[in-house]
Amino acid sequence: MNTELINQLLIHVEDACKSPNNPFGFGIWSHHIKPMIEIGRKLAKDYNADTEVVIIAVLLHDLAAIKDGSKRKEHHIFGAEEAKTILTKYNYSNNKIELVQKCILNHRGSVNNPKSTIEEICVADADAIAHIQEIGSLFYVAYKEMDMDIDEGMSWIRGKIQRDWNKMSERGKKQFKNKYNEIMKILG
Ligand SMILES: [Fe+2]
Ligand SMILES: [Fe+2]
């Protein structure tokens, strides 16, 4: 495990989350990226994936949108490009950079690209599980950040959780079925 690189990336991403330019507020670090690192680590072990690649992709997967809100709609594309720039600077190996890029490019439920590697599946599952586990952060985005009214917010959160569910692998679904059903019951 390249802990030196991961430590550098932890600092880089946490700093970006602290910046006033981050449209999501610091909660995207404390209630999305940070818990997702632990979820990704666990899934990588369960799924027999490359833990280092998964953790690096988790750290960088939303970075483009965190740094620049105007890139949000295509943050998977910008994020994959930026990952290449950052990781090349650290002399990370080309084949692992490519794998990290695939994880970022294919992590979104709203895009739901096919995934060809176990690492991509890990990152997409970890993203979905982090949303389900940190449901409060979705309420924050709907009501505070997007300023939605009550009904709009509930319907947006429901849609988001549903898209997250749809992008999950079968084994991820099996593990999180109960939690997903409980949340959907509450969301109505
Ligand atoms: Fe994302
Ligand atoms: Fe995410």
pLDDT digits (tens, 9 = 90+) for 69-112: 999 999 999 999 999 999 999 999 999 999 999 999 999 988 88
CA of 73 to the centre of ligand 1 (A): 9
State pLDDT tens for residues 32-65: 999 999 999 999 999 999 999 999 999 999 999 9
Return the pLDDT at 109. Answer: 84
Q: How far is the CA of 127 from the centre of ligand 2 (A)?
A: 5
Residue 121 alpha carbon to ligand 1 centre in Å: 14
At residue 73, the 3 state secondary structure works out as: helix
**Predicted local distance difference test score (pLDDT) of residue 188:** 85
* Domain extent at residue 42: 3-187
User: Of all helices (H) and strands (E), which one includes residue 34?
Assistant: helix 34-47
Q: What separation in Å is there between the alpha carbon of 58 and the centre of ligand 1?
A: 10
pLDDT score at 47: 96
Taking a 5 Å cut-off on Cβ, the residues next to ion ligand 2 are 62, 127
Question: What is the predicted pLDDT for the residue at 110?
Answer: 85
Give the chain's domain count: 1
Confidence category of residue 167, pLDDT binned at 50, 70, 90: very high
Quick one: DSSP state of residue 69? G
Q: Which ligand is nearest to the CA of 36?
A: 2
DSSP code string of 92-137: --HHHHHHHHHHHHT--TTT-----SHHHHHHHHHHHHHHHHTHHH
Would you state the torsion angle of the CA atoms of residues 122, 142, 144, 24, taken in this order, to the nearest 10 degrees? Answer: 30
What's the distance, CA 81 to chain centroid? 16
**CA–centroid distance, residue 105 to ligand 1 (Å):** 9
The continuous run of DSSP H or E covering 29 comes out as none
Residue percentage of the chain with pLDDT more than 90 = 91
The Cα–Cα gap between 184 and 57 comes to 28
Under a CB-based contact definition with an 8 Å cutoff, are residues 45 and 51 in contact? Answer: yes
User: How far apart are the CA of 20 and the centre of ligand 1, in A?
Assistant: 19
| Cβ count near 181 (within 10 Å) | 11
Closest CA to 111 of 100, 98, 102: 102
Measured CA to CA, the distance from residue 41 to residue 117 in angstroms comes to 16
Q: Which ligand has an atom closest to residue 105 CA? A: 1
Q: What is the spatial distance between Cα 63 and Cα 67, in angstroms, rounded to a whole number?
A: 6
Predicted TM-score (pTM) of the model is: 0.94
Q: What is the CA radius of gyration of the chain?
A: 16
CA of 151 to the centre of ligand 2 (A): 24
Look up residue 178 and give its two tokens. 């109960």
Which pLDDT does position 145 carry in this prediction?
87
Q: Which domain CATH number covers 132?
A: 1.10.3210.10
CA 186 to ligand 2 center in whole angstroms: 22
